[in-house]
Structure 1
């Protein structure tokens, strides 16, 4: 995450327009954007390094561990509920990702 932020800043200083992106992130730490969307804190830090406003598009799927067997699923910045690892990998992942793309 820190290396990516450094690369973003390095490119921005050279005049390149960049923005961070991580399709799916598992993290306990989240950041709330100006629009009220929840994204991974690392993507928010990388956006700051890239000198762009953080948005849910930078981290469309955020998984927040709730226990060792389930996570809160956040899609495009909005919580959609709890899901077990088995449910997520057992076909529900494709259904959820269809709402993102």
Structure 2
């Protein structure tokens, strides 16, 4: 069974995305296969993926920290 980790916070702008990016990098360097996921995003700061879809900048940072291509 795949192990999962969920990061939650009580407010927007609490630093959850930054913590997740750091954890992605740490676990990737330790040899784990990491796939960050955000179920809902309310950001106006977006990035266009290779599939020509929008994703939040924070999720792009997390994907890059995990050495995977950002996708929607």
Which category of TM-score, normalised to the shorter sequence, fits these structures? 0.7 to 0.9
Count of residue pairs brought into register by the alignment: 56
What's the CA shift string for 1:19-55, capped at 9, x where partnerless? 1100101001001111111011111110000000000
TM-score relative to the length of structure 1? 0.54
Q: Which residue of 2 aligns with 1:41?
A: 57
Ranges in structure 2 where 5+ consecutive residues have no aligned partner? 1-16
The CA RMSD measured in Å over matched residues stands at: 0.6
TM-score where L is the length of structure 2: 0.75
1 or 2, which has the higher strand percentage?
A: 1
Q: Structure with the greater relative contact order (CA < 8 A, sep ≥ 6): 1 or 2?
A: 2
Larger Cα Rg: Structure 1 or Structure 2?
A: 1
After superposing on structure 2, the runs of 4+ consecutive aligned residues of structure 1 that deviate more than 4 Å are none
Is the helix fraction higher in 1 or 2? 1
